[in-house]
Amino acid sequence: MKRVYESMMIVFPDLPDQEREEIFSKIEKKVESLEGKVLGTKVWDKERNFHYFLKSRGAEKKKYYKGCYWLINFNIDTAKLSDLKEVIRLEERILRSVILNREKESKVKVTA
């Protein structure tokens, strides 16, 4: 059964725009390869300050006080959501992410 989801990801702030777009397109392509559909995306803030620092994952341990917020709305089969979560988890340039079920209309307007 397909459901509508919303995901917020925080990406390293010091990435060049090309690398940032590469991450975004990788996630979008994964949604489409899992027979889902991207409903809209939006970069909220390229360098938003945190109230506390976030540690990076992976081999390079570094503290970040800023991050690039990216919002994506998509629909996907619930059975295939775990595959998407795994791709997001393995991407080391993403500091944090959350995926929420959004069956009702979101109040935030995102553009495709």
Residue 12: CA count within 13 A, CB half-sphere: 21
What lies within 8 Å, CB to CB, of 89 at 6+ separation is 97
Q: Is residue 21 one of the residues assigned to a domain?
A: yes
Q: Is residue 88 one of the residues assigned to a domain?
A: yes
Q: For the domain that residue 73 is a member of, what is the CATH number?
A: 3.30.70.60
What lies within 8 Å, CB to CB, of 6 at 6+ separation is 71, 72, 73, 99, 100, 102, 106
- Please write the tens of the pLDDT for every residue from 6-27: 999 988 888 898 999 999 999 9
Residue 86 has what pLDDT? Answer: 95
- The confidence band for 111, taking pLDDT boundaries of 50, 70 and 90, is low
Tally of structural domains, the chain: 1
Residue 68 has what pLDDT? Answer: 85
Q: Is residue 109 one of the residues assigned to a domain?
A: no
User: Bridge partners of 48?
Assistant: 67
- Please write the tens of the pLDDT for every residue from 48-106: 666 555 666 555 667 777 888 899 999 999 999 999 999 999 998 888 899 999 876 55
Q: Is residue 107 one of the residues assigned to a domain?
A: no
CA-based nearest residue to 110, from 50, 69, 67: 69
Q: Is residue 111 one of the residues assigned to a domain?
A: no
3 state DSSP class of 96: strand
Contact call for residues 52 and 96 (beta carbons, < 8 A): no
Domain span holding position 47: 2-101
